[in-house]
């Protein structure tokens, strides 16, 4: 009998693109089956801390707190260059003017919040919001600024907001490494053989989506917060990178550096 694993990913286009073939049985995997749940990354982080999922997408920043029960898989993650969270504000200000401001962040356990802490310019209050609520919160005055991720990187102009700081670019300049945003973890007790099978299955799923994008598109589109085709494609192009296929030495080093002081 195939082993059924509980898989948790986000509804964001990069995750649904990568996992489309795996979820829909497009690749042969006789030893494993998946029951899939879709949730916001902060919810996935919290669920992983409770051990809810067998395989789960989490913010890279939370990995250090999960090492006793989960292992880091080398495939399926979101790492790269030019893909970091952006700090945006209602007015064209710099970081000094926001040092004591209220900044909306997409979850306390997210990589975005971790980068804000590492940068060190901010000592004010943070307002926890789901990632797709950040832009409206800033535009409507709930917070003076916000950290935007996912589609928000491409749509903040529509809210009349102004770019203040690219925390991904700051990380790249500081470390010389790609920015690890999200990682795929698997429960340690699944065993090494299953871990390797999962890594290979995720790679094959990604290869299938890249070879058959027209098949993956309806599923990805049905779950995307931002429905414009161009934005969905820009999201995939930005967050699905060569590191999504294999972290490699630089990707592994970047994850370790991000989580070293957590």
Alpha-carbon distance values, 165 to 83, 91, 162, 182, 239 (Å): 13, 13, 10, 20, 19
Domain boundary among the residues 130, 151, 175 is at 175
Q: Average pLDDT, stretch 89-112?
A: 95
Alpha-carbon distance values, 33 to 23, 101, 151, 211 (Å): 9, 47, 30, 22
For residue 9, what are the β-bridge partners?
Answer: 38
Domain boundary among the residues 113, 143, 175 is at 175
CA distance 162 to 93: 8
Q: What is the pTM of this model?
A: 0.91
- The overall average pLDDT reported for the chain is 94
- Tokens encoding 112: 């975005």
Do 45 and 113 fall into the same domain? no
- Domain limits for position 111: 86-175
Do 98 and 226 fall into the same domain? no
Q: Average pLDDT, stretch 27-36?
A: 88
What is the pLDDT, as a whole number, of residue 28?
Answer: 80
Q: Can you tell me which residue has the tokens 């299955």?
A: 201
Q: What is the pLDDT of residues 85-95, one digit of tens each?
A: 999 999 999 99
What is the pLDDT, as a whole number, of residue 29?
Answer: 82
Do 162 and 194 fall into the same domain? no
Sheet of 103-105, strands arranged across: 126-128, 103-105, 145-148, 86-89, 162-166
157 is known as an active-site residue = no
Q: What is the pLDDT of residues 174-217, one digit of tens each?
A: 999 999 999 999 999 999 999 999 999 999 999 999 999 999 99
DSSP code, position 99: T
Do 190 and 158 fall into the same domain? no
Point out the catalytic residue in the list 119, 122, 150, 212.
Answer: 150
pLDDT above 90: percentage of residues in the chain:
84
């Amino acid at each position: 009998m195939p082993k059924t694993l509980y898989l948790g990913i986000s509804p964001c286009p990069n995750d649904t693109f990568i996992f489309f073939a795996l979820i829909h049985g497009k690749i042969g995997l006789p030893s494993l089956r998946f029951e899939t749940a879709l949730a916001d990354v902060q919810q996935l982080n919290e669920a992983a801390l409770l051990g809810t999922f067998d395989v789960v997408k989490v913010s890279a920043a939370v990995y250090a707190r999960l090492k006793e029960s989960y292992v880091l898989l080398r495939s399926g993650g979101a790492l790269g260059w030019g893909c970091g969270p952006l700090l945006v504000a209602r007015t064209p200000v710099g970081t000094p003017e926001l040092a004591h401001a209220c900044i909306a962040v997409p979850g306390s356990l997210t990589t975005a919040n971790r980068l804000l802490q590492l940068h060190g310019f901010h000592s004010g209050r943070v307002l926890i919001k789901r990632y797709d609520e950040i832009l409206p919160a800033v535009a409507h005055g709930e917070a003076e600024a916000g950290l935007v991720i996912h589609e928000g990187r491409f749509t903040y102009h529509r809210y009349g907001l102004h770019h203040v700081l690219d925390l991904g670019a700051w990380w790249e300049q500081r470390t010389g490494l790609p920015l690890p945003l999200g990682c795929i973890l698997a429960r340690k007790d699944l065993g090494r053989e299953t871990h390797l099978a999962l890594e290979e299955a995720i790679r094959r799923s990604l290869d299938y989506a890249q070879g058959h994008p027209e098949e993956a598109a309806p599923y990805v589109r049905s779950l995307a917060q931002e429905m414009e085709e161009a934005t969905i494609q820009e999201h995939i192009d930005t967050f699905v990178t060569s590191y999504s296929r294999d972290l490699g030495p630089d990707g592994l080093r970047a994850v370790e550096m991000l989580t070293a002081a957590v």
